[in-house]
């Protein structure tokens, strides 16, 4: 039995994790089958650098809407692999900007046709699944209006009174 399907919307986090693991696992298999040493978690940062040029960790985190810590960890991995380097920001020497190395630029050149195939396959999958990307946009918007944390706190009884907290935000 598939617990997550039976639980419906109550298992949305588990379903999203499962789908993410499935997609990331298949992507990893594709890179391995083609003999490309690439970690799927690198994609967002590398794609941003390839499309927009050098950027700070903060700029990348903002563009990708992920945490600064997550981008920093990815940066460390990419630097260790020799794919990106950090340099002083000409506008603010306290800040570092990530840039592709020569090896990184060659890797992007090699990956570009593969990334187009990924995009085509993703568009096909999205269409077959009934435009899940639009549903994810609605989920993003709903969470931006009111976080899951706020929703849970509003439902839970207050320890002091035993009644639900007043609605927030």
Give 159's pLDDT tier (boundaries 50, 70, 90): confident
Do the domain assignments include residue 11? Answer: yes
Q: How far apart are CA 5 and CA 22, in angstroms?
A: 16
Do the domain assignments include residue 156? Answer: no
Give 5's pLDDT tier (boundaries 50, 70, 90): confident
Q: How far apart are CA 60 and CA 117, in angstroms?
A: 24
For the stretch 85-95, pLDDT in tens is 998 878 887 88
Do the domain assignments include residue 15? Answer: yes
Strand ordering across the sheet containing 92-100: 55-56, 92-100, 84-89
Do the domain assignments include residue 21? Answer: yes
State which residues form the domain around 2: 1-35
Q: How far apart are CA 132 and CA 138, in angstroms?
A: 10
Would you state the pLDDT for residue 33?
97
Please, are residues 56 and 97 in contact by the beta-carbon 8 Å criterion?
A: yes
Q: How far apart are CA 45 and CA 7, in angstroms?
A: 34
Tell me the average pLDDT of the chain: 91
Do the domain assignments include residue 20? Answer: yes
Would you state the pLDDT for residue 168?
54
Phi, psi of 47 (to 5 degrees): -65, -40
Do the domain assignments include residue 85? Answer: no
Please, are residues 65 and 16 in contact by the beta-carbon 8 Å criterion?
A: no
| pTM (predicted TM-score) | 0.80
What angle do helix axes 57-64 and 68-80 make, rounded to 10 degrees?
Answer: 120
Do the domain assignments include residue 18? Answer: yes
Domain count for the chain: 1
Residue with tokens 């298999």: 29
Burial of 111 (0-12, 13-18, 19+ CB in 10 A): buried
Would you state the pLDDT for residue 161?
65
Do the domain assignments include residue 19? Answer: yes
């Amino acid at each position: 039995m598939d617990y997550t399907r039976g639980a419906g919307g109550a298992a949305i986090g588990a379903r999203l994790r499962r789908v993410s693991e499935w997609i990331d696992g298949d992507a990893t298999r594709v890179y391995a089958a083609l003999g490309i040493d690439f970690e799927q978690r690198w994609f967002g940062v590398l794609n941003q650098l390839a499309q927009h040029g050098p950027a700070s960790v903060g700029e990348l985190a903002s563009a990708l809407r992920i945490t600064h810590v997550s981008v920093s960890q990815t940066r460390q991995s990419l630097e260790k692999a020799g794919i990106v380097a950090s340099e002083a920001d000409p506008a603010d020497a306290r800040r570092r900007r990530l840039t592709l190395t020569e090896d990184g630029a060659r890797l992007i050149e090699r990956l570009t046709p593969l990334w187009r195939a990924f995009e085509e396959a993703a568009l096909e999958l999205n269409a077959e699944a009934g435009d899940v990307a639009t549903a994810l946009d609605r989920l993003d918007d709903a969470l931006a209006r009111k976080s899951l944390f706020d929703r849970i706190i509003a439902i839970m009884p207050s320890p002091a009174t035993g009644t639900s907290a007043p609605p927030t935000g």
